[in-house]
């Protein structure tokens, strides 16, 4: 039994803790009130200008990585027919992003500048709409655009998620008029579908919530009677048809790399762990924790996440979810947040997800939060359903939870931006400059392709001669293809099509490369011993002339470190005006 003095001490500590929470929450409220008192729109103009300027400054330092480079190459080299009917089956998302980029790529516009302008157009427009229309506290509106996913991961890195950002904001702006102007709202949902496969899933969730709203408290017979008269139903039916067409368009083919692995392997993280993380832990990593991305930049199924790290994410995530669900329940918006959230997290956990995809949860939460704030003051609406003493504690806890979910991502954004300035983010820019400066593109360059080695013997047991590693990082800097073994592939159309080569195609490709003769330059250590015999390579030596390190950034940490090597045939060193450099130590050379 606890003694009286111990009970009193516990009660005293509890009161102190609650008072501390309330004081901290009041401090946040005071800060927002001071910002609210600033007359005019100067803070909003300043925030919008800072967003654009910082984006452009970082673009100068950021080296586009494979996702960015491959999309550009597809947009530049693929025909419109291929963009619509061929590429989506291998890329796994609708063609809108490639079609947008093709307007710039096919007209010969600069690679990096065009990527930056396109990305900034979508995210900058979304930020302006947030600053102008979002019914959030002013301090939140001013800080939100600079958080990690909205500023760095989905803006500085130019990918289709910049379009998804704008789609969610437009949906939020028009949510209150969805019943008055259903055509506009459905077209915005279609825009969301066109941004990504995830967009199709989430748009389906939002549309389903709308159907539930139309069906609410009506019998099935009454609902069906009004079916023909209700234009909202017809617009939703139109959305369903479009979504089905898009799903058919992106269904992977049998030879798609993402679904046709080189070797059969067991997924490191089982379905139970993935579902637990997706439903309860991922949201923690979006706002506060960093467990998934802290391992490596790989798929969730391939990450050996232990129960300890998983528990940490789940605990924080459940605290955030409790706050969201409680608020949604009290504001009558439970379905609107839980259905899209559940559909996305289950789909991504079961099918496919990388760390950068988790930020889509932020879009869902942002959209939902916007819709519940729009009809009136959230705190007043909550207070009408909660007794005053409890409400003060709950309100303070929610304010601090929201503050933490902004402050931590702001820190990630700053640390990632600084690291991008100081770090060589990706293969591509520097390698292309070296090749151009030394005119290596005038020689026969062989690039590496995907191989699988036996863990015990180190021997190559399988390969994919259609999957060229990191060529699309370099190719956008040149007007034409510079890798001769790419050009000799029937499946090569100037870009990396994720089309798995058969064993027969592998043999044919190796034979073509062999017939073309020995390469002058080796980019990224291709397995040249698979193309030429030991006798043919007996008196041939290649000298290392370029070596560098790169590493994708995740919340400021450098992950997936790569070592870049360029070799030239030793007898050509003098002709090229190059000198051999020392080989890096083995432990550094092979680090990943």
Tell me: the pLDDT tens digits for 212-222? 888 776 666 66
Alpha-carbon distance of 155 to 148, in angstroms, equals 10
Confidence of residue 590 (pLDDT cuts 50, 70, 90): very low
Q: Choose among 560, 558, 555: nearest CA to 285.
A: 555
Domain boundaries defined on the chain: 429-589
Say if pTM beats, i.e. exceeds, 0.95.
no
Residue 277 DSSP one-character state: I
Confidence of residue 238 (pLDDT cuts 50, 70, 90): very high
Which residue has better confidence, 395 or 336?
336
10 Å CB burial of residue 518 (0-12, 13-18, 19+) is middle
% of the chain surpassing 90 pLDDT: 59
pLDDT in tens, 115-136: 999 999 999 999 999 999 999 9
pLDDT in tens, 503-544: 999 999 999 999 999 999 999 889 999 999 999 999 999 999
Task: Say if residues 213 and 176 touch (Cβ distance below 8 Å).
Answer: no
Mean of the pLDDT values across residues 72-96? Answer: 94
Q: Choose among 131, 103, 129: nearest CA to 115.
A: 103
- Virtual torsion, Cα 50, 52, 57, 63, nearest 10 deg: 140
Alpha-carbon distance of 69 to 446, in angstroms, equals 19
């Amino acid at each position: 039994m606890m003694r009286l003095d111990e009970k009193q001490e516990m009660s005293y500590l509890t009161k102190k803790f609650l008072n501390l929470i309330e004081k901290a929450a009041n401090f946040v409220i005071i800060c927002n009130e001071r910002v609210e008192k600033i007359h005019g729109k100067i803070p909003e103009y300043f925030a919008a200008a800072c967003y654009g300027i910082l984006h452009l400054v970082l673009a100068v330092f950021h080296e586009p990585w494979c996702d960015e480079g491959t999309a550009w190459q597809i947009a530049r080299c693929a025909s419109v027919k291929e963009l619509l009917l061929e590429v989506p089956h291998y890329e796994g998302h609708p063609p809108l992003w490639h079609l947008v980029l093709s307007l710039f790529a096919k007209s010969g516009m600069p690679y990096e500048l065009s990527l930056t302008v396109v990305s900034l157009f979508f995210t900058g427009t979304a930020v302006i709409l947030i600053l102008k229309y979002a019914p959030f506290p002013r301090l939140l509106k001013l800080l939100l655009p600079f958080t990690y996913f909205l500023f760095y991961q989905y803006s500085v890195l130019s990918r289709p998620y910049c379009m998804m950002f704008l789609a969610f904001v437009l949906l939020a702006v028009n949510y209150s008029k969805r019943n008055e102007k259903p055509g506009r709202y459905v077209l915005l949902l279609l825009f969301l579908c066109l941004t990504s496969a995830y967009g199709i899933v989430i748009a389906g969730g939002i549309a389903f919530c709308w159907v539930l709203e139309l069906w609410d408290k009506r019998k099935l017979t009454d609902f069906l009677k009004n079916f023909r008269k209700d234009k909202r139903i017809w617009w939703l039916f139109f959305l369903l048809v479009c979504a089905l067409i898009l799903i058919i368009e992106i269904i992977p083919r049998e030879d798609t790399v993402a679904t046709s692995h080189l070797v059969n392997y067991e997924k490191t993280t089982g379905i139970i762990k993935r579902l637990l993380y997706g439903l309860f832990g991922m949201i923690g990593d979006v706002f506060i924790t960093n467990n998934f991305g802290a391992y490596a930049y790989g798929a969730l199924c391939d990450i050996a996440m232990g129960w300890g790290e998983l528990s940490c994410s789940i605990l924080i995530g459940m605290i955030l979810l409790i706050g969201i669900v409680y608020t949604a329940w009290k504001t009558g918006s439970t379905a609107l947040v839980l259905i899209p959230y559940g559909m996305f997290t289950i789909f991504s956990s079961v099918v496919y997800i990388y760390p950068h995809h988790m930020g889509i949860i932020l879009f869902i939460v942002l959209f939902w939060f916007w819709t519940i704030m729009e009809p009136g003051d959230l705190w007043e609406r909550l207070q009408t359903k909660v007794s005053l003493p409890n409400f003060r504690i709950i309100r303070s806890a929610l304010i601090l939870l929201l503050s933490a979910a902004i402050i931590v991502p702001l820190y990630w954004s700053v640390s990632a931006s600084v690291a991008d300035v100081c770090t060589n983010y990706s293969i591509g820019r520097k390698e292309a400059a070296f090749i151009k400066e030394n005119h290596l593109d005038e020689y026969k360059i062989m690039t590496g392709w995907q191989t699988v080695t036996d863990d015990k013997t180190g021997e190559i047991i399988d390969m994919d001669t259609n999957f060229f590693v990191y060529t699309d990082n370099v190719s956008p800097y040149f007007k034409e293809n510079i890798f001769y073994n790419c050009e000799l592939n029937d499946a090569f159309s100037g870009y990396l099509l994720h089309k798995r080569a058969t064993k027969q195609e592998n043999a044919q490709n190796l034979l073509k490369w062999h017939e073309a003769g020995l390469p002058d330059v080796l980019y990224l250590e291709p397995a040249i011993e698979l193309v030429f015999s030991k006798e043919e390579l007996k008196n041939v030596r290649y000298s290392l002339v370029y070596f560098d390190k790169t590493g994708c950034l995740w919340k400021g940490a450098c992950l997936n470190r790569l070592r870049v090597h360029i070799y030239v045939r030793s007898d050509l060193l003098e002709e090229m005006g190059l000198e051999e450099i020392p080989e890096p130590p083995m432990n550094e050379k092979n680090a990943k």
